[in-house]
């Protein structure tokens, strides 16, 4: 098997197991204070982590707070584990060049089977304080 993969690699054929998961993009725009539903997506099989990314370029007001929570379903959306991964953060002019990167892990022991094709994820974003321009993503990979 290793020999076959070696020759495939010489031929320029990608043989690595395809990375599964999926990405929800948080559109770059101004968000007024409130609660936003992040639409669900179906995840392809073979992922092991969740990563929530938030661009902080315009996030300077310390009185404004952003919370992003990801929900996970392992049965194609019939039931959900709420807030399976999440974080809150406040604006800071000193950290506009440092995006938030929050990582959680998918393990069978915690009810997450990354090898299954029946997983879905969705999310909720809550903004308090002032309107803020944000962009980001939730990535299962």
φ/ψ bin of 76: left (φ > 0), alpha (ψ from -120 to 50), beta (otherwise): left
CB of 74 to another protein, least distance (A): 11
Per the CB < 8 A criterion, the answer to whether 69 and 138 are in contact is no
CB of 87 to another protein, least distance (A): 4
* Binding of residue 22 to another protein (CB under 8 A): no
φ/ψ bin of 4: left (φ > 0), alpha (ψ from -120 to 50), beta (otherwise): alpha
Chain mean position to CA 73:
14
CB of 94 to another protein, least distance (A): 8
Contacts of 128 (CB under 8 A, 6+ apart): 33, 64, 65
CB of 48 to another protein, least distance (A): 12
SS3 93: helix
Closest CA to 75 of 116, 39, 37: 116
Mark the segment that binds another protein (CB under 8 A) among 9-17, 25-33, 52-60, 113-121. 52-60
Among residues 43 and 69, whose Cβ is nearest to another protein?
69
Binding characters for another protein, 69-108, by CB under 8 A (x = yes): x--x--------xxxxxxxxxx-x--xx-xxxxxxxx-x-
Under the rule (CB under 8 A), what is the footprint of another protein? 54, 56, 59, 65, 67, 69, 72, 81-90, 92, 95-96, 98-105, 107, 109-112
């Amino acid at each position: 098997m290793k020999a076959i993969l070696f020759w495939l690699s010489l031929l320029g054929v990608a043989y690595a197991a395809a990375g599964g998961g999926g990405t929800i993009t948080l559109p770059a725009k101004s968000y007024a204070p409130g609660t936003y539903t992040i639409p669900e997506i179906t995840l392809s099989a073979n992922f092991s982590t969740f990563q929530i990314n938030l661009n902080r370029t315009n996030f300077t007001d310390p009185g404004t707070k952003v919370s992003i929570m990801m929900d996970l379903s392992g049965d194609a959306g019939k039931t959900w584990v709420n807030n399976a991964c999440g974080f809150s953060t406040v604006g800071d002019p000193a950290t506009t060049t440092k995006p938030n990167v929050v990582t959680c892990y998918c393990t069978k022991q915690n009810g997450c089977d990354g090898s299954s094709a029946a997983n879905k994820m969705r999310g909720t974003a809550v903004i308090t304080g002032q309107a803020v321009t944000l962009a980001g993503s939730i990535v299962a990979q």
